[in-house]
């Protein structure tokens, strides 16, 4: 038996013994997702236990080094773990922007001290992070951000406003892009980390067309941030930001595959009776299955270092546009049932809310148009600005 | 999905350099078109395929072939698509070779396919749209053999073939998957009329009419009434292969178009600077990457004998044909007036994509098949 087969057998046995039955059921709603954090109220004992046993092994972040709270697994082993979890329908023990966005950036750009301090907290789900990127005047043109951080000796003084800060009202800490120099656009940005309980930080949720409030406006009024809480060098934060955006795009691209344990294809769910709708859904299913193949290929290439650095932009564009189509067709298939907004029958208007929420997929994390610009410039090397 | 192995990468490089050097548009496609070649491809080039072993890509090593799978065939076909190289590779070395695998016909034909001396064709369609279960051509038992009556069309390189793998009905009625049988029919069979038809892309496909064509019992490929399974095997290889060739066509046309966007000036600027064209080019690139992933996934599933292979074969064929169609339409449009001229090569990609898109089932056929295989 190869080492990998042994690992698979052992993993299977361990998961069988340790993954609670409740954590092997499909995710039905946002409430089933474990985000962790200082103020996290576990939905059930099973959710708490599942996080604890997985974090104990470092398997909330299986491929991070053990020194930083990870599992120290090779890419192949991490992939086996993913397969074995999928086999029993195990939920992810922990979902967080710390894992999917900040962690990879810290691993690449953080000091040894920062890694030792922040990464284990992320791995154990103790600190919930939010992302302070967009501003009212800096959306697609992100590098135009104006939130200012002044160096006043022993600390940074931060003033300004962020918008579209995901779950800022629930987060413990923020990773935040600030302007430390007006001399250069991209070259005047720094990457700060600070506690959301610091005096001067306030948040206000934004109600979306879907009826939910996953985003906030976040205000900074003379917020004092210790000097050492900067990632990378002063005025070099744009490099960290871009690297992190690649990971964010990769994560959002996954939406093309359907969320919450639904199938990749729509036809078996909708079972369309009208020929024209059936034809359109079949066209969608071809695209969805082809994209699933692309997603596998991209993941393998990314791990092997064979993917173009700008390819997450391609994946993000394709995945989000696909998810919007999925929701349009799910609404069509649902007919008037899908229009109900808060009935129990409609599970609180889940179809309509998901449909409306999906419209943001091709805006957040860089619009589809921005992704196409990036592909045209960096992959196709077309001329122009 | 696994990435390419070192051996596969080497094969890809060999095929890419060979076809770019020997299989280019000027020396092959345009040349044979201009002299009105009856085959639509060059036998000298086919001999070179043989020298490289490529004629035996899927033929088992025990028969002297390379014994490789759908994945390796896909690598070669993508390069064939990129160069629009006319050859019997798909119809003869991939599909027909697969159809006769494991039968006594392999003993006779494999050596001739390998050496490049013989070309085989496959006759399936009877109407303008692909529908193998609708096969109506009648094979009636007579004495120790069969008598065939009926007609076939879209038989790729049928007039150039020495033997034509023919799907006929030995039992049941049109629409049924039972009662179908594959026959090895010699092109010279008495009563078989072969009309050589030039298609839009200058390739050749035959219309066959069978008028009391008598064949021996040993012409049966596999078992009588059990042709559906070997047909699916051959069609799976053909559809996955056509998908890979379509990805090559899309890539080739798009590469040519991107070059044009980087060179052509209007309003004092390179037209590639215009965002309206950049976004369309970026969308096209994305779609081609997805189609390639689907084509490789289908090939890999076929090679590993996975039960999802049939589903992904149809996904790949539908996706690749759709994307190639988009690529050639966008390419001609972005070339402007020059793209409408016969002198420019870009129109040749449009023609080839149309033929391959139709072969072994078009996008509508395969979308429908995906729906059926998914239970709706």
By CA distance, what is A290's nearest residue in B?
A: B294
Q: How far apart are the first and last CA of chain A?
A: 55
Query: A300 and B1 in contact by Cβ < 8 A?
Result: yes
B327-360 confidence digits (pLDDT tens): 999 999 999 999 999 999 999 999 999 999 999 9
Query: B272 and A382 in contact by Cβ < 8 A?
Result: yes
| Predicted local confidence at residue A2, as pLDDT | 80
Q: Catalytic: which of A77, A248, A250, A364?
A: A248
| Same structural domain, A293 and A363 | yes
Beta-carbon pairs below 8 A across chains A and B:
133
pLDDT above 90 covers a percentage of chain B that reads: 99
Contact B169, B226 (CB under 8 A): no
C-alpha B151/C-alpha A117 separation (Å) is: 77
| Same structural domain, A172 and A268 | no
DSSP state of A91: P
Give me the residues of A, 285-314, that contact B with CB < 8 A.
285-287, 289-291, 293-294, 296-298, 300-301, 304, 306, 314
CB-based contact, A281 to chain B, within 8 Å: yes
B13-64 confidence digits (pLDDT tens): 999 999 999 999 999 999 999 999 999 999 999 999 999 999 999 999 999 9
The fourth-level CATH superfamily of domain B229-373 is Butyryl-CoA Dehydrogenase, subunit A, domain 3 (1.20.140.10)
pLDDT above 70 covers a percentage of chain B that reads: 100
C-alpha B169/C-alpha B135 separation (Å) is: 7
Q: Which of A213, A235, A257 is the last residue of a domain?
A: A235
B289-305 confidence digits (pLDDT tens): 999 999 999 999 999 99
Query: B273 and A278 in contact by Cβ < 8 A?
Result: no
Nearest by CB: A290 against B2, B293, B374: B293
Query: A372 and B279 in contact by Cβ < 8 A?
Result: yes
- Which residues does chain B have within 8 Å of residue A294's beta carbon, measured at their own beta carbons? 289-290, 293-294
Instruction: Tell me the residue range of the domain where A251 lies.
Output: 240-379
| Same structural domain, A164 and A210 | yes
pLDDT band at A219 (very low <50, low <70, confident <90, very high): very high
What the block records as the tokens of A169 is 């009202």
- Which residues does chain B have within 8 Å of residue A279's beta carbon, measured at their own beta carbons? 364, 367-368
Span A115-141, mean pLDDT?
96
Among B315, B361, B366, the residue to mutate for chain A (most A Cβ within 10 A)? B315
Query: B262 and A382 in contact by Cβ < 8 A?
Result: yes
| Same structural domain, A149 and A183 | yes
For helices B346-358 and B228-263, angle between their N-to-C axes, nearest 10 degrees = 160
CB-based contact, A76 to chain B, within 8 Å: no
Please enumerate in sequence order all residues whose Cβ is within 8 A of that of A133, keeping only pairs 6 or more positions apart, or say none: A142, A145, A162, A164, A176, A177, A241
Contact B204, B159 (CB under 8 A): yes
Nearest by CB: B273 against A294, A375, A383: A383
- What ranges make up the beta strands (E) of B105-179? 120-123, 138-142, 145-156, 163-169
Contact B167, B227 (CB under 8 A): yes
- Pairing between strand A155-166 and A215-226? antiparallel
| Same structural domain, A287 and A342 | yes
C-alpha separations of B191 from A248, B147, B163, B288 in Å: 67, 10, 15, 45
In a domain, A222, yes or no: yes
- Which residues does chain B have within 8 Å of residue A282's beta carbon, measured at their own beta carbons? 367-368, 370-371
| Predicted local confidence at residue A262, as pLDDT | 58
Query: Collapsing DSSP states into helix, strand and coil, what is residue A259?
Result: coil
| Same structural domain, A247 and A373 | yes
Does domain B122-225 fall into CATH 2.40.110.10?
A: yes
CB-based contact, B370 to chain A, within 8 Å: yes
Exposed/middle/buried for residue B293 (C-beta within 10 Å: 0-12, 13-18, 19+): buried
Residue A102: give its domain's CATH number: 1.10.540.10
Query: A271 and B282 in contact by Cβ < 8 A?
Result: no
C-alpha A248/C-alpha A131 separation (Å) is: 10
Q: What is the CATH architecture assignment of B6-119?
A: Orthogonal Bundle (1.10)
CB-based contact, B266 to chain A, within 8 Å: no
| Same structural domain, A211 and A179 | yes
Q: Nearest to residue B137, comparing CAs of B179, B187, B195?
A: B179
Span A149-170, mean pLDDT?
96
| Predicted local confidence at residue A247, as pLDDT | 80
| Predicted local confidence at residue A255, as pLDDT | 67
Residue A259, pLDDT above cutoff 70: no
Nearest by CB: B293 against A267, A293, A317: A293
Give me the residues of A, 311-370, that contact B with CB < 8 A.
314, 317-318, 369
pLDDT band at A156 (very low <50, low <70, confident <90, very high): very high
pLDDT, chain B, mean: 97
In a domain, A384, yes or no: no
Exposed/middle/buried for residue A300 (C-beta within 10 Å: 0-12, 13-18, 19+): middle
pLDDT above 90 covers a percentage of chain A that reads: 83
Q: How far apart are the first and last CA of chain B?
A: 27
DSSP per residue, A145-164: ---EEEE-SSEEEEEEEEEE
Phi, psi of A336 (to 5 degrees): -70, -20
What the block records as the tokens of B40 is 């639509």
A221-257 confidence digits (pLDDT tens): 999 999 999 999 999 999 999 999 888 877 777 766 7
CB-based contact, A284 to chain B, within 8 Å: no
Number of domains chain A contains: 3
Residue A261, pLDDT above cutoff 70: no
Gap from A77 CA to chain B (nearest CA, Å): 15
C-alpha B3/C-alpha B94 separation (Å) is: 22
| Predicted local confidence at residue A260, as pLDDT | 47
Three-state secondary structure of A28-76? CCHHHCCCCCCCCCCCCHHHHHHHHHHHHHCCCCCCCCHHHCCCCCCHH
Query: A380 and B285 in contact by Cβ < 8 A?
Result: yes
Where do you find CATH 2.40.110.10 in chain B?
A: 122-225
pLDDT band at A187 (very low <50, low <70, confident <90, very high): very high
| Same structural domain, A81 and A30 | yes
In a domain, A101, yes or no: yes
| Same structural domain, A227 and A257 | no
Where do you find CATH 1.10.540.10 in chain B?
A: 6-119
Phi, psi of A64 (to 5 degrees): -80, 155
| Same structural domain, A118 and A169 | no
Residue A331: give its domain's CATH number: 1.20.140.10
Among B290, B313, B317, the residue to mutate for chain A (most A Cβ within 10 A)? B290
| Predicted local confidence at residue B1, as pLDDT | 72
Among A282, A300, A378, the residue to mutate for chain B (most B Cβ within 10 A)? A282
A305-336 confidence digits (pLDDT tens): 899 999 999 999 999 999 999 999 999 999 99
What the block records as the tokens of B258 is 């991107």
Residue A211: give its domain's CATH number: 2.40.110.10
pTM of the model: 0.91
C-alpha separations of B339 from A129, B147, B261, B273, B332 in Å: 53, 50, 13, 19, 5
| Same structural domain, A152 and A105 | no
Where do you find CATH 1.20.140.10 in chain B?
A: 229-373
Span B142-154, mean pLDDT?
97
Residue A248 annotated as catalytic: yes
- Which residues does chain B have within 8 Å of residue A270's beta carbon, measured at their own beta carbons? 376
- Pairing between strand B120-123 and B163-169? parallel
Gap from A322 CA to chain B (nearest CA, Å): 12
| Same structural domain, A227 and A287 | no
């Amino acid at each position: 038996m190869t080492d990998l087969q042994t690992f698979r057998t052992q993993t299977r046995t361990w998961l069988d013994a340790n993954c609670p039955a409740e954590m092997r059921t499909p995710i039905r709603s946002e409430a089933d997702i474990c985000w962790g954090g200082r103020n996290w109220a576990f939905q059930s004992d099973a959710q708490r236990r599942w996080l604890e046993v997985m974090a104990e092994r470092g398997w909330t972040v299986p491929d991070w080094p053990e020194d930083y709270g990870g599992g120290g697994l090779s890419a192949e082993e991490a992939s086996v773990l993913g397969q074995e979890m999928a086999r029993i329908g195990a939920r992810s023990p922990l979902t967080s922007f710390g894992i999917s966005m900040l962690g990879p950036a810290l691993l690449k750009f953080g000091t040894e001290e920062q890694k030792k301090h922040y990464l284990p907290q992320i791995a154990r789900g103790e600190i919930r992070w939010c992302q302070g990127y967009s501003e009212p005047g800096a959306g697609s043109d992100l590098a135009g951000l104006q939130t200012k951080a002044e160096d006043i000796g022993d600390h940074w003084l931060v003033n300004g406003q962020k918008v579209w800060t995901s779950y800022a009202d629930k987060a413990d800490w923020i990773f935040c892009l600030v302007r430390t120099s007006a001399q250069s656009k991209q070259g005047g940005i720094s990457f700060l980390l600070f506690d959301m309980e610091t005096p001067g930080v306030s948040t206000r949720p934004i109600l979306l067309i879907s009826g939910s409030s996953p985003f906030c406006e976040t205000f900074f009024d003379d917020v004092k941030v210790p000097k050492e809480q900067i990632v990378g060098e002063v005025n070099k934060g744009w490099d960290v930001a871009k690297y992190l955006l690649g990971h964010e795009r990769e994560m959002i691209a996954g939406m093309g595959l359907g969320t919450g344990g639904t199938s990749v294809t729509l036809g078996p769910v909708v079972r369309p009776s009208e020929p024209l709708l059936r034809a359109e859904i079949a066209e969608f299913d071809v695209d969805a299955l082809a994209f699933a193949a692309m997603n596998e290929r991209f993941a393998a290439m990314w791990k092997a270092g064979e993917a173009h650095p700008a390819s997450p932009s391609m994946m993000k564009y394709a995945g989000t546009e696909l998810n919007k189509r999925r929701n349009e067709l799910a609404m069509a298939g649902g007919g008037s049932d899908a229009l109900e907004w808060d009935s129990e029958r409609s599970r609180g208007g889940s179809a309509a809310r998901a449909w409306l929420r999906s419209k943001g997929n091709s805006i957040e994390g860089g619009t589809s148009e921005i992704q196409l610009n990036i592909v045209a410039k960096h992959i196709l090397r077309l001329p122009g600005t | 999905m696994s990435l390419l192995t070192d051996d596969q990468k080497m094969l890809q490089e060999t095929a890419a350099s060979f076809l770019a050097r020997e299989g280019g548009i000027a020396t092959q496609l345009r040349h044979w078109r201009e002299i009105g070649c009856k085959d639509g491809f060059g036998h000298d080039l086919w001999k070179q395929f043989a020298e490289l072993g490529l004629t035996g890509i899927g033929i088992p090593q025990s028969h002297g072939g390379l014994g490789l799978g759908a994945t390796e065939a896909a690598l070669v076909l993508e390069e064939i698509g990129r160069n629009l190289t006319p050859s019997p590779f798909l119809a003869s070395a991939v599909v027909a070779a697969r159809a006769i695998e494991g039968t006594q016909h392999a003993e006779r034909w494999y050596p001739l396919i390998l050496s490049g001396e013989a070309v085989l064709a496959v006759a399936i369609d009877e109407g303008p749209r692909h529908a193998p279960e609708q096969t109506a051509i009648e094979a009636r038992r007579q004495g120790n053999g069969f008598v065939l009556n009926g007609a076939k069309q879209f038989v790729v390189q049928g007039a150039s073939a020495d033997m034509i793998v023919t799907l006929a009905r030995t039992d049941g009625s049109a629409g049924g998957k039972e009662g179908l049988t594959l026959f090895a029919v010699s092109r010279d069979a008495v009563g078989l009329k072969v009309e050589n038809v030039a298609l839009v892309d200058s390739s050749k496909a035959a219309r066959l009419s069978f008028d009391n064509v008598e064949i021996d019992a040993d012409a049966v490929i596999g078992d009588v009434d059990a042709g559906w399974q070997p047909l699916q095997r051959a069609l799976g290889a053909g559809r996955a292969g056509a998908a890979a060739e379509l990805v090559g066509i899309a890539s080739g046309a798009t590469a040519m178009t991107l070059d044009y966007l980087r060179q052509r000036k209007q309003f004092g600027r390179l037209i590639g600077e215009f965002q309206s064209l950049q976004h369309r080019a970026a969308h096209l690139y994305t779609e081609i990457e997805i189609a390639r992933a689907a084509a490789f996934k289908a090939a890999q599933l076929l090679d590993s004998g996975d039960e999802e292979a049939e589903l992904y074969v149809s996904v790949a064929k539908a996706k690749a044909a759709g994307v190639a169609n988009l690529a050639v339409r966008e390419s001609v449009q972005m070339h402007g007036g020059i793209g409408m001229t016969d002198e420019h090569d870009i129109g040749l990609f449009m023609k080839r994509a149309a033929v391959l898109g139709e072969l072994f089932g078009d996008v509508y056929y395969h979308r429908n098949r995906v729906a059926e295989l998914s239970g709706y």
